[in-house]
Chains A and B, each alone.
Chain A
Amino acid sequence: MKETDAITVWHWMSDREDAFEELASRFEQETGTKVHFELYAPSEAYAQRVKASAQTHTLPDVYGVLGEKRDFASFINSGYVLDLTPELGAGENGAWKDSLFARALAVNEFLPGNEYGVKPGIYGVPLDVMTIQMVYNQSLYEKAGLDPKRPPETWQEFIAHCRVLKEKGIPRFVSGFGEIWMIDALASNFAMNIMGEDKVFATYRGEVPYTDPDWVKVLALFKEMTDEGVFVDGAVTMVNKTAEQTFANERAAYAFNGSWCINVYKGMNPSLKYGAILPPKVTPANPMRIWGGAGSSFVVNAQSPRKDKAVKFLRWLTSDKTQAFLAEKTENLPSNKNSLSQITPVLAQFADDMDNSTHPNVYPVHEKPAVTEAFDKGIQSILIGEKTPEAVAEEVQRIKEKEQKKS
């Protein structure tokens, strides 16, 4: 086997390096094709490396695009990503895509008439799926005299439980709100619940102002949580890794985190007793939609001379057997539906909520980054008691109007 026939894969997933090496070895044994996994971490450094390599046409055969949908679109429009639609539609035992979660595939899909001008199709293969939701500590619930099997489902219950926890001196809610995308995730969950998806998208299109009472209501939830002393000290500038340590060390009863946390908590505190729940519903009028879908995805370099082999490798990587191995080794939700039987009970709780998931990458319309930043930073200002929800709403609307004028 010539070394030039080997497939090179770039990734950023340091927690899965051993599993990937094992898979590379298995793939070589089965097919005779060598696979080199190259790790570039942390993810910010990886993202920069991929962008720099695109400029010098030195991208590997298989890689992942980190960032928002517009970044993915830019890679595709620049000719760096192979359209996998024909391959995903083919297969010996039914179409390849039929074995994968549709929501995970949707993250890698561009629909007709998409705002980025990308040719409709599926451009990436999900390696795993994830949801971002809430977790609660069952031991702390018991300690507070609350029923560990009855976590809060509604906003009223959540606030009531927080008050009980507060009385018992148990810190309540932690999240890495120093990373503003986490604020964005939680706020958009509440927004989808309060006003429904259509109104959220109408806001992004500029048809509904951020000063609308429903948006003020979303912001007011953060004010209420602040007034109730729900958040642990310092959560507003905390990075998620610290928030994960805080929850794993039982210094908070709730956390807002992604399904990847299972592996993280297991490493930090193997005896931690917790469960996954949806964020509390503010109203029964609309479903609570959480962020979810593809966790990590790989794409094939359209300029690679080994693209056929690369596609074959991705097909193997997402097969029932390989996905079951990955799920077991890395405690991540498999992207292959047929491998779900192998997962742990907590992971199954995250998987149960996959039906409620959505993701900015599947939205039909996207908010301008400057507006999103103003919204998230505005929530930080509410959390430190500096601004009112109304003031933040007006400020965000002002930025929105400015950005609309620009475009």
Chain B
Amino acid sequence: MNFQKIRNLLGNYVFILPAALLFFTFSLYPFFKVFELSVTSWDGISPVEAKVGLANFKDLIFDNPVFWLSMRNACFVTFLALTVQNLLALFLALICDRDIKGGNVYRVIFYLPPVLSGIVVGLIWNWIYDGSYGLLNHFLAFIGLGDLSRAWLSDGKTALLSVAVIHMWKGFGWGFVILLAGLQSIPRELYEAARVDGASSWIVFKNITAPLMIPVFILVSILTILGTMQIFDIIIATTGGGPGYHTEVPITRIVSTMIGTGQFGYACAMGVVFGLILLAISMIQIRVSKMMRQV
């Protein structure tokens, strides 16, 4: 290798060095540090990180029902987001894909909730759901369903569902934008040919739109699962995980363990387990999607 080649090679590495340094410092190092801390009983303050082996993991997996309850709550919200939220997003995307009047205005309106801060959204919905002065209760009374009035976020029967509705309201815009982009990438000639052959709207959707949209559906569902399982800001701004443990989700448990009880090591173990679960879900989903494409 001559001097020129070495210089070119080094030159290339010098160019990627800043990005690599940032990546190692802010992504890789914290990632591995979490694993390292997860086997300690570190309190977040002391310079000493006493090793406890796999005790944190053992306790978490076999003796922490609240963490698994929080997983169940997150799964419930995720299920609703995957179905109701994404179906709504698809329905609106299909409407906006047609040349309707004011289509761009609708696109902007539908995309507004996702760009709002979760805390702000939570505060707005706190007011809507308020038991005494809330908009929802006023509306229910107006349409003669005043008996259904309640403090929606403070009732154990409705708190999680109410939080899920907020999350779906805030999140459907993302799915809408991605699905709309997918719909617009389908060649129009296919639709025209189907119409010439006399295909109904349902047949067109079933045989043209749906198959061609599978990669987009997969992308949206992966983003929905990962985004919803990590729901946090809306819960903090509305219920704080209560009443009782009704709206606790894994991230609120991790934060309260880390900050509330000062068990950083244990909280890191929770983070590792939660991360592995999300990884497993994503891998299963990718596997299923590959199988679907082959079919």
Report which A residues bind B (CB closer than 8 A).
44, 47-48, 51, 54-55, 67-68, 70-71, 74-75, 77-78, 80, 171, 178-180, 232-239, 242, 251, 369-370, 373, 377-378, 380-381, 383-384, 386-387, 402, 406
- B residues 35-70 with Cβ under 8 Å of A? 43-47, 59, 63
| Known contacts A74-B43, A78-B47: A233-B131 contact under CB 8 Å | yes
**A208: shortest Cβ distance to chain B, in Å?**
23
Q: Are A232 and B259 in contact (CB under 8 A)?
A: no
Complex CA gap A175/B156 in Å reads: 18
Complex CA gap A94/B151 in Å reads: 57
Interface of A is mostly: helix
Q: Given contacts A71-B43, A71-B262, A234-B132, list 8 more A-B pairs with CB under 8 A.
A: A70-B262, A75-B45, A171-B132, A233-B130, A237-B159, A237-B243, A251-B132, A373-B261
Complex CA gap A225/B243 in Å reads: 16
Q: Are B243 and A383 in contact (CB under 8 A)?
A: yes
Complex CA gap A357/B126 in Å reads: 34
Partner of A232, one of B59, B132, B238, B242: B132
Partner of A237, one of B63, B240, B256: B240
Contacts of B221 on A, CB cut-off 8 Å?
A: none
Interface string of B210-251 (1 = CB under 8 A from A): 000000000000000000000000000011101111000000
Complex CA gap A3/B243 in Å reads: 51
**B143: shortest Cβ distance to chain A, in Å?**
20
**A131: shortest Cβ distance to chain B, in Å?**
23
Q: Are B46 and A44 in contact (CB under 8 A)?
A: no
Q: Are B243 and A373 in contact (CB under 8 A)?
A: no
| Known contacts A233-B154, A234-B154: A78-B45 contact under CB 8 Å | yes
Partner of A402, one of B63, B132, B245, B259: B63
Complex CA gap A399/B281 in Å reads: 31
Report which B residues bind A (CB closer than 8 A).
43-47, 59, 63, 126, 130-132, 150-151, 153-156, 159, 238-240, 242-245, 256, 259-263
Q: Are B239 and A237 in contact (CB under 8 A)?
A: yes
A-B contact pairs, 27 of them (CB 8 A): A47-B259, A51-B45, A68-B262, A71-B45, A74-B43, A80-B45, A233-B131, A233-B154, A234-B131, A236-B242, A236-B243, A237-B242, A242-B126, A251-B132, A369-B261, A369-B263, A373-B256, A373-B261, A377-B244, A380-B242, A380-B243, A381-B244, A384-B156, A384-B243, A384-B244, A386-B243, A387-B244
**A362: shortest Cβ distance to chain B, in Å?**
19
Contacts of B156 on A, CB cut-off 8 Å?
A: 381, 384, 386
**A116: shortest Cβ distance to chain B, in Å?**
11
Complex CA gap A20/B46 in Å reads: 30
**B62: shortest Cβ distance to chain A, in Å?**
12
Closest to B264 in A: A51
Contacts of B126 on A, CB cut-off 8 Å?
A: 242
Q: Are B240 and A178 in contact (CB under 8 A)?
A: yes
Closest to A73 in B: B45
**B247: shortest Cβ distance to chain A, in Å?**
8
| Known contacts A75-B45, A234-B131, A237-B239: A373-B154 contact under CB 8 Å | no
Closest to A246 in B: B132
Contacts of B130 on A, CB cut-off 8 Å?
A: 233-234
Contacts of B159 on A, CB cut-off 8 Å?
A: 237
Closest to B247 in A: A237
Q: Are A55 and B47 in contact (CB under 8 A)?
A: yes
Contacts of B242 on A, CB cut-off 8 Å?
A: 178, 180, 236-237, 377, 380
Closest to B64 in A: A370
Contacts of B243 on A, CB cut-off 8 Å?
A: 236-237, 380-381, 383-384, 386
Complex CA gap A80/B153 in Å reads: 42
Contacts of A179 on B, CB cut-off 8 Å?
A: 240
Partner of B132, one of A51, A233, A369: A233
**B255: shortest Cβ distance to chain A, in Å?**
9
**A272: shortest Cβ distance to chain B, in Å?**
19
Question: Residue among A71, A234, A377 with the most chain B CB within 10 A?
Answer: A234
Question: Residue among B46, B63, B154 with the most chain A CB within 10 A?
Answer: B154
Closest to B256 in A: A373
Q: Are A67 and B262 in contact (CB under 8 A)?
A: yes
Q: Are B153 and A237 in contact (CB under 8 A)?
A: yes
Q: Which 8 A-B pairs have the closest CB atoms?
A: A233-B131, A369-B261, A234-B151, A233-B151, A74-B45, A381-B244, A380-B243, A237-B239
Complex CA gap A377/B239 in Å reads: 12
Contacts of B45 on A, CB cut-off 8 Å?
A: 51, 54, 71, 74-75, 78, 80
Contacts of B151 on A, CB cut-off 8 Å?
A: 233-234, 236-237
Contacts of A384 on B, CB cut-off 8 Å?
A: 154-156, 243-244
Complex CA gap A44/B240 in Å reads: 14
**B120: shortest Cβ distance to chain A, in Å?**
15
| Known contacts A234-B130, A234-B132, A251-B132: A239-B261 contact under CB 8 Å | no
Complex CA gap A369/B43 in Å reads: 13
Q: Are A369 and B47 in contact (CB under 8 A)?
A: no
Closest to A79 in B: B47
Closest to A402 in B: B63
**A239: shortest Cβ distance to chain B, in Å?**
7
**A36: shortest Cβ distance to chain B, in Å?**
24
Q: Are A369 and B131 in contact (CB under 8 A)?
A: no
Q: Are B44 and A178 in contact (CB under 8 A)?
A: no
Question: Residue among A74, A178, A232, A251 with the most chain B CB within 10 A?
Answer: A178
Complex CA gap A377/B261 in Å reads: 15
**A145: shortest Cβ distance to chain B, in Å?**
23
Complex CA gap A237/B237 in Å reads: 10
Contacts of B240 on A, CB cut-off 8 Å?
A: 178-180, 237, 239
Contacts of A377 on B, CB cut-off 8 Å?
A: 242, 244-245
Question: Residue among B151, B159, B242, B259 with the most chain A CB within 10 A?
Answer: B242
Q: Are B153 and A234 in contact (CB under 8 A)?
A: yes
Closest to B43 in A: A74
